[in-house]
Chains A and B, each alone.
Chain A
Amino acid sequence: DAGITQSPRHKVTETGTPVTLRCHQTENHRYMYWYRQDPGHGLRLIHYSYGVKDTDKGEVSDGYSVSRSKTEDFLLTLESATSSQTSVYFCAISYSENQPQHFGDGTRLSIL
């Protein structure tokens, strides 16, 4: 849907390990976003990118870093995963900041 692929779709890992989630798009959209979704909190923005090598923090960025070395890929890294980062992670893309965002199918991440 909308040319967005998230990988992996599911991951289980242990506390303290590094984790990288990938979002790949084929739409050549400028804007890319990472959200997390938790019960009782809805979707919350972690980081976003407004171009290659241009990124900024969202509302829940602590413990996360991102990189965007090319238009089609936006990586989310948990440097040292904690159990509080167990969540479903969604990537979204948009042509511009005023255009609708389109979401991927999500990555379900469990930190044990």
Chain B
Amino acid sequence: DAKTTQPPSMDCAEGRAANLPCNHSTISGNEYVYWYRQIHSQGPQYIIHGLKNNETNEMASLIITEDRKSSTLILPHATLRDTAVYYCIVRVTSNAGGTSYGKLTFGQGTILTVHP
């Protein structure tokens, strides 16, 4: 799976949009971009994923650049409960051939702190 690079920490004011960047310059054409977050002492929580089109769900939006070398997770109106570690993960699909069992490789992520 392609390696990802994220800033170690970010701050955001409550009610403002949080924009979390991720670089994945070695991503392959069959690799999805996934975002998870982990709130202290809880299991990782799935947020969103995409291949090349922008995606939006009830939690967030995912913007993937045209060359797919980077992406941004957007939390449109951050709340204090969004304080967590956010992980950007690039994951190969089963169509790639070879061994593919859905492995997720978690890096160090970005610690997002939302303050009042």
Residues of A within 8 A of B (CB): 1, 31, 33, 42-43, 45, 48, 50, 56, 58, 90, 92, 94, 96-106
Alpha-carbon distance A89/B35, docked complex (angstroms):
20
- Near A by CB (< 8 A), chain B positions 71-91 give 87
With a cutoff of 8 Å between Cβ atoms, the chain B residues found around residue A105 in the complex are 42-43
Residues of B within 8 A of A (CB): 34, 41-46, 49, 87, 93-94, 100-109
| Contact in complex: A100, B46 (CB < 8 Å) | yes
Chain B interface mostly: loop
A-B CB pair tally, cutoff 8 Å: 54
Closest to A43 in B: B106
Alpha-carbon distance A102/B37, docked complex (angstroms):
11
Alpha-carbon distance A104/B49, docked complex (angstroms):
19
- 26 example contacts (A-B, Cβ-Cβ < 8 A) are as follows A1-B45, A33-B102, A42-B87, A42-B106, A42-B107, A42-B108, A43-B104, A43-B106, A48-B102, A48-B103, A56-B101, A58-B103, A92-B43, A92-B44, A92-B104, A96-B94, A96-B102, A98-B93, A98-B94, A101-B104, A103-B44, A103-B45, A105-B42, A105-B43, A106-B42, A106-B43
Residue B44 contacts which of A58, A90, A96 (CB distance < 8 angstroms)? Answer: A90
Q: A42-B108, A97-B94, A98-B93 are in contact. Are A31 and B46 (CB under 8 A)?
A: no
| Contact in complex: B34, A100 (CB < 8 Å) | yes
| Contact in complex: B46, A97 (CB < 8 Å) | no
B97 to chain A, nearest CB (A): 13
With a cutoff of 8 Å between Cβ atoms, the chain A residues found around residue B87 in the complex are 42
